[in-house]
Structure 1
């Protein structure tokens, strides 16, 4: 029988099982458990808000959302979010998933660190970001019951020093391509972790452009 955590049934289709195995084989325990919690927080948020969402697509979005931080799926010059989205797209296409569903999962992953936009999009896109925000930032923490939080973390634990360690994971995944942090929250990660990092400035780019006026 499929596993049920905090009242949420984990998808148990062939593609979901394959995705789980791929992520399990690629990510370390911290990212793997984080990804599963993201799915659970997202699913619980959708249930609380009465949103209709395909849990299999939500699961795929959550499971692949940080794959771009891994050496195997990291490109030299794309945002890690796009790398993860591309990995999910290739995986889903190999299973013959309809193009619209592939695009929705791609969008959810690509935008999950761009606050203020996903929440206005289709429920699955919004809920991937909601799950990430709950697990990393603690947004809406008190909207979940203590029992829900405990049950999720009993099954997929937050390891000791998770807060510091997830920042370290972000830094290791992007430190070699700092330009990809322009205009997104990961600039804050390198500002904290890389003493040589120089944050790009939007206004300086405008004023220094080739346009004469």
Structure 2
């Protein structure tokens, strides 16, 4: 990771630097209004992990790399865990729909709105994001770094990021929020979705695979 500064000047303000502008402000405001503090911290950390992953992959200077959209996709990817979600579709789709409404409201181009929608809608879907656009790929990888995947790629920066945005038992709260959303209707947790499997696991022995995964993992809770 020592080669990151040479890849792009986008990190020159430090690991905790954030993009700015109306799109960023609106995304963060929506996330703050909707999410449990631990889930909000998870979403912000996802942005940092995504940016660091992008640096590791050498794509910070690619034409398709857009830091404002990367922030929006990460910070709003769990919006449906909040009170404004209808609870009629799986939480990934409702999060994407809510995020699209936020971006449309601040005048983001339709193409950018579609990219963020895709990144959020696919953030729990394995093996597909890496075949989509750069935003979807980076968003997926950043979110899953926060669950311990590729933790070695952010080892130098993780202590500073976790100090600024602590975990606060995120995985437990995340599971609870996804389960609550999925319980709102049959169509909110259809078979083979994450919410469906979490509900089965919780009913079976009270603990989900998501929660078990943090035991002995790189980040803990």
CA distances 1:51-103 after superposition (whole Å, capped 9, x unpaired): 2310100111011100012122x223211111111111111111221111110
Please say if residues 112 and 128 of structure 1, whose CA atoms lie closer than 8 Å, have aligned partners that are also in contact: yes
The answer to whether residue 195 in structure 2 is matched with residue 186 in structure 1 is yes
Structure 1 segments unaligned to the other structure (5+ residues) = 196-213
Confirm or deny: 8 A CA contact 1:8 1:43 kept in the other structure: no
Residue of structure 1 aligned with 2:153, choices 143, 147, 163: 143
Change (3 A) 1:189 1:6: farther
Q: Which of these two proteins has the greater Rg computed from alpha carbons?
A: 1
- Residue 4 of structure 1 and its aligned partner are, at CA, apart by 8.0
**Aligned CA-pair RMSD:** 2.0
Instruction: Judge conservation of contact 1:6–1:148 (CA < 8 Å) in 2.
Output: no
Kindly indicate whether the alpha-carbon contact (under 8 Å) linking 2:47 and 2:142 is maintained by their aligned counterparts in 1.
Answer: yes
Q: Is the CA contact (8 Å cut-off) linking 1:65 and 1:84 kept in structure 2?
A: yes
Decide which of 56, 80, 101 is 2:68's aligned counterpart: 56
Q: Secondary structure at the match of 2:157?
A: helix
Q: Is the 8 A contact 2:34 2:81 kept in 1?
A: no
Equivalent position to 1:154, from 149, 163, 166: 163
TM-score by length of 1: 0.81
Unaligned 5+ segments in structure 2 are 1-10, 205-221
Report the Cα distance in structure 2 between the residues aligned to 1:92 and 1:56, rounded to whole angstroms. Answer: 11
Contact preservation (8 Å) 1:5, 1:152: no
Q: Contact (CA 8 Å) 2:42, 2:170: kept in 1 or not? A: no
Q: How many residues align?
A: 189
Rate the CA distance shift 1:193–1:178 in 2: closer, same or farther, 3 A.
farther
Matches for 1:103-142 after TM superposition, within 5 Å: 103-136=114-147, 138-142=148-152
Structure 2 counterparts to residues 39-50 of structure 1, below 5 A? 39-50=47-58
TM-score for the superposition, normalised by structure 2: 0.79
Give the corresponding residue for 2:171. Answer: 163
- State whether structure 2 residue 91 is matched by structure 1 residue 80: yes
Instruction: String of CA shifts for 1:109-159, please: whole Å, max 9, x gaps.
Output: 0111111100111111111111111113x11112222x3110110111111
Q: Secondary structure at the match of 1:157?
A: coil
